[in-house]
Amino acid sequence: MVSISIRHLSKRFGETIALDRVSIQIEAGEIFFLLGPSGCGKTTLLRHIAGFYTPDAGKILFETRDVTHMPAHLRNTAMMFQSYALWPHMTVAKNVAFGLEQRKLDATNIERRVTEALEMVRMRKLAHRRIHQLSGGQQQRVALARALVVRPDCLLLDEPLSNLDSRLRIDMRTEIRRICKEFGLTTIYVTHDQKEALAIADRLAILEEGKIVQIGTPRQVYSFPFTTRVAAFLGETNLVRGVIQGDGGQKNLWSVETEYGEFWARGTEKSWSPAPGERVTLSLRPECLRLADYKGARNTISGTLDHYVYLGDTAQYLISAHEGQQVRITELNPQARPPEAESELFAVIDPEDTLMLRR
């Protein structure tokens, strides 16, 4: 495993700036996610680390080794693609052995390492099957074994679970994290799936238009987003405009006047102390809002029920609030009887869960 330093990396394709002075430090053995909407630059960055692209400016270091202009086959990385790219005419074992054969290892070593790799992904018993005889989840495991068998310094994953159904995706999240941690692999993983990132990552970076806008652990970025776009991208949220009135009477809390009334909120940036009159945006996560019997003095939204969906362990409410604006609420362990359509509802949120963001 290696640490990876990305320093001021820039790349332009014609008039499009794909990467704009991107800098990241990834620790040895860390599972690091690149997250963001389509076209944000995450796959471009991964392909630079793999050696498929050469940057216009900046450096990539593996430990202290400058690999910026080093060919891909000399970097000792392994990349797993969204399509898996398995050879359909070969058996599972031959697919996994392919990279070792290209490196001209002897047959005894190849057999031993293929067996070890298939054991890692729990596919040894299917070594002699053809690819078309496997399920999607099994094919994904074979692709992962093929990447692991070359014993890379760094494992690169580009949307590896996108072709699986929801149940398999959940199972493979656990498997990928287990394997990467068990073998101490430095792993860089590209996805647009927020739940994958939250479930697997040690840390993650959010990209927008070729720039890094926030880096942190999943909990840090989810609980302390720096911008409204980060808050809206990583999970669901309700965004409410407001104006700072002053401090909230408690440490790190601010009084914000909104169209729904007064809210006490906490800032997501420690160094930020907004002045009275400054315009801000509040982020109210649906799971942080809870139904109440009456309208409180602050941190409360009132409205009428537009839509209700029962999902067993949760229920989702869509209420029409001030001037018809819609607010989403997620209720855990929902009540036995849902409210009637167009009934009046009150939703309250704790000040600590009310996130104040720069507009």
Confidence of residue 332 (pLDDT cuts 50, 70, 90): confident
d(CA 215, CA 227): 12
d(CA 118, CA 63): 29
Confidence of residue 161 (pLDDT cuts 50, 70, 90): confident
Confidence of residue 266 (pLDDT cuts 50, 70, 90): very high
* pLDDT at residue 249, as a whole number: 67
Q: What average pLDDT does range 54-70 have in this prediction?
A: 96
299 is written with which tokens?
A: 């941190």
Q: What is the pTM (predicted TM-score) of this model? A: 0.87
Question: Does the pLDDT of residue 81 top 70, yes or no?
Answer: yes
Q: Which residue has the tokens 């293929």?
A: 114
* pLDDT at residue 240, as a whole number: 95
Question: Are residues 184 and 104 in contact, defined by beta-carbon separation less than 8 angstroms?
Answer: no
Q: What average pLDDT does range 80-85 have in this prediction?
A: 78
Q: Nearest 5°: phi and psi at 104?
A: 60, 40
* pLDDT at residue 238, as a whole number: 95
Question: Does the pLDDT of residue 248 top 70, yes or no?
Answer: no
Alpha helices in the chain (DSSP H): 42-50, 92-102, 107-120, 136-148, 166-182, 194-200, 218-223, 228-233
Rg over CA atoms, the chain: 24
116 is written with which tokens?
A: 């070890």
For the chain, the average pLDDT equals: 90
Q: What average pLDDT does range 291-318 have in this prediction?
A: 89
Question: Does the pLDDT of residue 64 top 90, yes or no?
Answer: yes
d(CA 9, CA 60): 8
Q: What average pLDDT does range 124-149 have in this prediction?
A: 89
Confidence of residue 289 (pLDDT cuts 50, 70, 90): very high
Q: Which domains does the chain have, with CATH numbers?
A: 4-228 (3.40.50.300), 236-358 (2.40.50.140)
Amino acid at 178: R
